[in-house]
Structure formats: C-alpha cells, structure tokens
Amino acid sequence: MLPLAKNALSRLQVRSIQQVVARHGHQKRTPDFHDKYGNAILAAGGLFCISAWTYTATQIGIEWNLSPVGRVTPKEWRDQ
C-alpha cells in the first residue's frame, strides 16, 4: 500500500474510533446486572468460601501439627 494511502486510512480509522467514543460518552447508561448485583454476589461468594473452608477445617479431624509440649513425656534413663 502506498504510504499516503496507508496514512489516510489509519487517520480515518482513528477518527471513526474517536467518534464512536464521543457518541458513547453522551449517552445515558442504564445500570446492567453487574452494576446492580456485582458487589453482593462477590460478598456472598466470599462468605460461602470462607464458611465452607472453616467447616471443612474444623469438622474433618485434621491433625494440625500442634506443639507437643505437655503431651510428650521423656523416657526414664536406664543405668547399667
């Protein structure tokens, strides 16, 4: 493509993009589903995730490698 034609085509594309953006900027945008319910769904999902992990961690009986202090007693020395 000739450089002059290529330059003209790119300027037309940029100008049309700018016109589309300008048109969308003047329109009143109505809130969609994500605007209405997005934060509530995010909070509910987070709460569900935390509660599911809390239930799992407390009810399935995992041994959490707690400190053995007070549970382990040393063996008696045997003198020979």
The pLDDT assigned to 12 comes to 56
Eight-class DSSP state of 48: H
pLDDT of residue 30: 83
pLDDT per residue as tens digits for the range 15-73: 676 676 666 666 667 888 889 999 999 999 999 999 999 999 888 877 777 777 777 77
- The conformation of residue 13, written as its DSSP 8-state character, comes to H
User: Does the pLDDT at position 13 exceed 80?
Assistant: no
State the burial class of residue 33 (Cβ atoms within 10 Å of its Cβ: 0-12, 13-18, 19+).
exposed
Residue 61: the pLDDT is 79
Q: pLDDT value at position 7?
A: 63
Write out the two tokens for 2.
Answer: 């000739």
The pTM for the full model equals 0.44
